[in-house]
Chains A and B, each alone.
Chain A
Amino acid sequence: MPADFMLRALAAGIGVALVAGPYGTFVVWRRMAYFGDTLAHSALLGVALGFLLQVDPMLAVMLVCLLVALLLFFLQRQQRLPSDTLLGILSHSTLSLGLVAIAFMEELRIDLLAYLFGDILAVGNRDILLIYASAIIALGLLMLLWRPLLAITLHEDLARVEGVRVDLVQLSFSCLLALVVAIMMKVVGLLLITSLFILPAAAVRRLSRSPEQMAVLAVLAGALSVSGGLYGSWQFDTPAGPSIVVAATLLFALLQLFPARQ
């Protein structure tokens, strides 16, 4: 018999899968895995700042991720350093800053593991509401950006000549991705966020014949992974976040056995 907290965890996890699927497809197509990682790592700095300034941690995480996304956007435009170098610098400096900041707050006892690997079993009704509200906003805005984003993914200059406002679309997407990362942190933790972007999307690639199909199937694969992971976590008393990722990995491996659709 499932306990209340399990149902809440399932609701939260499926909410996250709903938004991670479509965003994950773009992370895969646009090769932004490291970008996702960087946003996720900077989330810890957000957590620390949230405690320091006594604001809601999720809100603080959103703000810090947003700032990092903006900073990256402008640094990348300067083209002084290659993108992955910039990402590496920001990724690890924000993570370390976060850890150092938390260490300074002596009176504070926070469960670091909960932020690193997620604490989905502890989500409350308020968290679920927040997850679904942000998910709906993030998905709605992604739908607006969908076609121009596809065009940019194929070729930036081509899209530009055809009248797409490339910079605006890219900046908006980065900011939305920052928002999504903040939503996801509670569920899988910042070290595992990228896996929920990439695994479901990569798993269903071979079954998809259009971008939209791949996005929808990625949502299903994500939801399935969340359910399977939570069930496994319940059965075998394993940590929930990593269990979800293990379930997603198993699903990925299983789907590779199917022949590719043309």
Chain B
Amino acid sequence: MVESAEPLLDLEGICLVRQGRHILENVSFQIDPGEIITLIGPNGAGKTSLLKVALGLLQADTGLVKRSADLRIGYMPQKLVVDRTFPLSVARFMRLIGHYSEQQMQQSLDEVGAGRLLNASLADLSGGELQRVLLGRALLRRPQLLALDEPVQGVDVQGQVELYDLIGRLRDNFGCAVLMVSHDLHLVMSSTDRVICLNQHVCCTGTPAAVQQDAQFLKMFGPAVLPHLAIYSHDAQHQHGSCPHQGCSCPLGEEGRDAR
């Protein structure tokens, strides 16, 4: 991984309140260059909101978002619906962000395994194809950070594994950091550097590899227990009132407390 003194993105004490309800509560984290961070948490945990705050799409009520100067971000939204009345080819879609040669676009699409789609109509693509095209398009701008909101949503299991592989490979090839929202920790675990478990506040954070090999963790849950099952049971039991997290049964708990 690339070492750098300055994080790409630094969020400090982010609070987001909507209709008198906390969507995000005192959330802080930072992303270093080349790092893959996965945000997990149950529905309504504020994952997408946090991603949007990080991208500047939502204004936090309190807290600070610091982006490194001229940060180039490639964003993959949760859902991109292309209206059938909109005649747009993949090539034209890619050119919406700048002037690129046919060769550059072809290269980018080859990189994400979507080489044959350059002249396809955007409205005809399947979910997985569209995700790949979005990634390929983002690569054109040589992003330092890829922000992916549920990148494998609507893709079958085989396709999910391939997409996560691809995302890991893009990080290796291009040195870009990845901030990814997911609700499927099981598949995310293999390619991610750090997991942030979110439920309005940061419950815990930690490197998944270290946690998985942690003797304490194995003793507590047994090797057969899938991490994402543990996370979900944790969410069901988690009480807002009991913060900061004593008695939190989160599998990443120990390390998470340190990180806070």
Residues on A facing B (Cβ under 8 Å): 28-29, 31, 147, 150-151, 153-155, 157-158, 160-162, 202, 205, 208-211, 213-214, 262
A29 near B85 with CB under 8 A, answer yes
Known contacts: A211-B92, A262-B121. The answer to whether A154 contacts B87 by CB under 8 A is no
Q: Are A29 and B83 within 8 A (Cβ)?
A: yes
A29: chain B residues at CB < 8 Å are: 83, 85-86
For A205, the closest partner residue in chain B by CB is: B85
Given A161-B147, A211-B86, A214-B87: A151 touches B75 (CB 8 Å cut-off): no
Q: Which residue of B lies closest to A152 (CB)?
A: B96
Q: Counting chain A CB atoms within 10 Å of each CB, which of B56, B88, B121 scores highest? A: B88
Q: Which of B73, B87, B93, B147 contacts A213 (CB 8 A)?
A: B87
Max chain A C-beta neighbours (<10 A), residue from B75, B86, B89: B86
CB of A210, distance to nearest CB on chain B (Å): 6
**Besides the contacts A151-B97, A158-B80, A161-B55, what 5 more A-B pairs have beta carbons closer than 8 Å?**
A28-B85, A155-B80, A157-B77, A161-B75, A210-B87
Instruction: Write out the residue numbers on chain B whose beta carbons fall within 8 Å of the beta carbon of A213.
Output: 87
**Per-residue interface assignment for chain B, residues 80 to 123, with 1 indicating a CB less than 8 Å from any chain A CB and 0 otherwise:** 10110111110011001100000000000000000000000110
> B120-148 CB contact bits vs A (8 Å, 1 = yes)?
01100000000000000000010000010
B 60-88 to A, binary, CB cutoff 8 A, 1 in contact else 0: 00000000000001010100101101111
Query: Which residues of the partner chain A approach B141 to less than 8 Å between Cβ atoms?
Result: 162
A202 to B92, CA, bound (A): 21
Could you tell me the distance between the alpha carbons of A127 and B88 in the complex, rounded to whole angstroms?
A: 36
Q: For the complex, give the distance between the alpha carbons of A162 and B56 in Å.
A: 11
Given contacts A29-B86, A208-B87, A214-B87, contact A155 B77 (CB under 8 A): yes
Residue B52 at the A interface, CB < 8 A? yes
Complex: chain B residue closest to A28, CB-CB: B85
Interface residues of B, count at CB 8 A: 23
B85 lies within 8 A of A162 (CB): no
- In chain A, what residue has the closest Cβ to B76? A158
A–B Cβ pairs within 8 angstroms, 27 of them: A28-B85, A29-B83, A151-B97, A154-B82, A154-B93, A154-B96, A154-B122, A155-B80, A157-B52, A157-B55, A157-B57, A157-B77, A160-B57, A161-B57, A162-B75, A162-B97, A162-B141, A205-B85, A205-B87, A208-B87, A209-B87, A209-B121, A210-B87, A210-B92, A211-B86, A211-B87, A213-B87
Q: Is the CB of B77 within 8 A of A210?
A: no
Distance in Å: Cβ of B6 to nearest Cβ of chain A: 21
The minimal Cβ–Cβ distance linking A160 to chain B, given in whole angstroms, is: 6
**Residues of B with C-beta under 8 A to A155:** 77, 80
The answer to whether A150 and B75 touch across the interface, beta carbons within 8 angstroms, is no
For the complex, give the distance between the alpha carbons of A115 and B195 in Å: 63
Distance of A214 Cα from B87 Cα, bound (Å): 8
- Interfacial residues of chain B within 217-231, with CB under 8 A of chain A in the complex: none
Q: Please measure, in the bound complex, the distance between the C-alpha atom of A205 and the C-alpha atom of B86, giving whole angstroms.
A: 8
Q: Is the CB of B73 within 8 A of A161?
A: yes
Q: Which 4 A-B pairs have the closest CB atoms?
A: A161-B75, A208-B87, A151-B96, A29-B86
Task: Provide the residues of chain A in CB contact with B86, threshold 8 Å.
Answer: 29, 153-154, 211
Shortest C-beta distance, B83 to chain A (Å), equals: 6
Residue of B whose beta carbon sits closest to that of A201? B85
Which residue in A158, A210, A214 is a CB contact (below 8 Å) of B75? A158
> A154 contacts B88, CB within 8 Å?
yes
Nearest to B52 among chain A residues (CB) is A157
Q: In whole angstroms, what is the CA distance A154 to B147 when docked? A: 18
CA distance A160 to B52 in the complex (A): 11
> With the chains together, A154 CA to B87 CA distance in Å?
11
Q: What are the residues of chain A within 8 A of B97 when measuring CB–CB? A: 151, 162
Which residues of the partner chain A approach B147 to less than 8 Å between Cβ atoms? 161
Within the complex, the shortest CB–CB distance from A227 to chain B, in Å, comes to 25
Q: What is the CB-to-nearest-CB distance from A105 to chain B, in angstroms, rounded to a whole number?
A: 42
Chain B contacts of A157 at CB under 8 A?
Answer: 52, 55, 57, 75, 77
Task: A133 to B86: give the CA distance in the assembly, Å.
Answer: 29
Give the docked Cα–Cα distance between A154 and B122 (Å): 10
Nearest CB to that of A208 among chain B residues? Answer: B87
Inter-chain contacts of B96 with A (CB < 8 A): 147, 150-151, 154
Give the complex CA separation of A221 and B120 in angstroms: 26
A202 and B75 contact, Cβ closer than 8 Å, known pairs A154-B93, A157-B57, A162-B97: no
